Amino acid sequence: MAGKIAVEEHFLPHGLEELISGVGWSAEEWRRVIDRLQDVGRRLEEMDRHSIEVAVLSLGAVGIQDVVEPARAVELARRANDALAELVRAHPSRFAGLAALPLQDPAAAADELTRAVTELGLRGALVNGYSSVGDLDTAAYYDANRYLPFWERVEALGVPFYLHPRNPLPGQRRIYEGRSELLGPTWAFAVETGTHALRLITSGLFDRYPRLTLVLGHLGEFLPFALNRLEQRISHVPHVRLERPPTQVLRDNFFITTSGNNHTASLIGVLFELGADRLLFAADYPFEELRDGVEWFDAVPISEADRLKIGRTNAERLFRL
Would you name the residues annotated as active-site residues? Answer: 284
Helix %, strand %, coil % of the chain (to 5): 50, 15, 35
CA dist., res. 309 & res. 303, Å (int): 10
Supply the DSSP symbol for 260. Answer: T
Phi, psi for 163 (deg, rounded to 5): -95, 105
Cβ atoms of 47 and 94 within 8 Å: the answer is yes
3-state SS assignment for residue 10: strand
Name which of 250, 269, 259 is nearest 198 in CA terms. Answer: 250
Name which of 96, 94, 74, 75 is nearest 85 in CA terms. Answer: 96
CA dist., res. 19 & res. 203, Å (int): 30
Beta bridge partners of 36: none
Phi, psi for 66 (deg, rounded to 5): -105, 20
Give the Å distances, CA to CA, from 159 to 6, 124, 155.
Answer: 17, 5, 7
3-state SS assignment for residue 198: helix
